[in-house]
Amino acid sequence: MDRYKTVIEELLPDDEDNPLQCEIETIELRKLLLVWFKELVQYRNERGKLEKEEKEKILKWIEEQQQIGDKLEQNL
């Protein structure tokens, strides 16, 4: 992982000589993780496993992280 790209590699490959690898731009991975986390928060809230106040606090944090990501992307 570096500022520009992240390589994701299979930890326990079926074929140890040819593990699966995926290369993605680090900023894109960051965006995907924030989308996933936001969906997880929404899901947990709908199931009653997350209080409204906690949900709002987390969603605010996610929004802040998205804004930080936007600034980082502009500086690449």
Residue 27: which residues within 8 A CB-CB, separation 6 or more? 69, 72, 73, 76
Q: Look at the chain and report how many structural domains it folds into.
A: 1
Q: Is residue 72 part of a domain?
A: yes
Q: Is residue 60 part of a domain?
A: yes
Q: Is residue 70 part of a domain?
A: yes
Q: Do the beta carbons of residue 2 and residue 26 sit within 8 Å? A: yes
pTM value? 0.81
Q: What local confidence, expressed as pLDDT, does residue 39 receive?
A: 97
Residue 75, token pair as written in the block: 């500086």
Q: Do the beta carbons of residue 63 and residue 38 sit within 8 Å? A: no
User: pLDDT tens digits for 25-71?
Assistant: 999 999 999 999 999 999 999 999 999 999 999 999 999 999 999 99
Domain of residue 69 covers 51-76
Q: Is residue 64 part of a domain?
A: yes
Q: Is residue 15 part of a domain?
A: no
Q: Is residue 31 part of a domain?
A: no
